[in-house]
Amino acid sequence: MLVVEFGKPDPAAVALGRALRDDGMEVVHAGPLDTIEQILRTAEQEDPDAVAVLGERPPPDLEQALDPVRVVPVDAGTTPEKAAERLRGGRSHTAGAPSDRVR
């Protein structure tokens, strides 16, 4: 899960990242990013299953550019717990992989 603060810092991003982590998800908090290009470059490097976008509403072309990665806008006032509930479907791509210890 990639957590991005788009356009303006959002203090809820840290709480959301913690809630997702506590739910067993791998979380990368990218912090404030100002452009779609920055989000795309970060997503290329991190290879997330989903991108949670806080702050300003992401433009529609972000979803097209990141397809098939799910883009989930998190509106102001949404509690981290509620946002985490919405994001639970985007688990890490390693979640279904067998453990190294299983042979």
DSSP the chain: -EEEEESS--THHHHHHHHHHHTT---EEEEEE-SHHHHHHHHHHH--SEEEEEESPPPHHHHHHHTTSEEEE--TT--HHHHHHHHTT---TTTTSPPTT--
pLDDT at 64: 93
- The pLDDT of residue 87 is 84
For 15, the domain range is: 2-86
Residue 40 in tokens? 């795309």
Task: Specify the CATH number for the domain of residue 10.
Answer: 3.40.50.280
Residue 101 falls within a domain, yes or no?
no
Domain membership flag for residue 100: no
pLDDT of residue 89: 61
Tens-level pLDDT at each residue, the chain (103 residues):
999 999 888 889 999 999 999 989 999 999 999 999 999 999 999 999 999 999 888 888 999 999 999 999 998 888 888 888 888 764 444 444 444 434 3
Tell me if 36 sits within 8 A of 85, measured CB to CB. Answer: no
pLDDT score, position 96: 47
Query: What's the structural domain count of the chain?
Result: 1
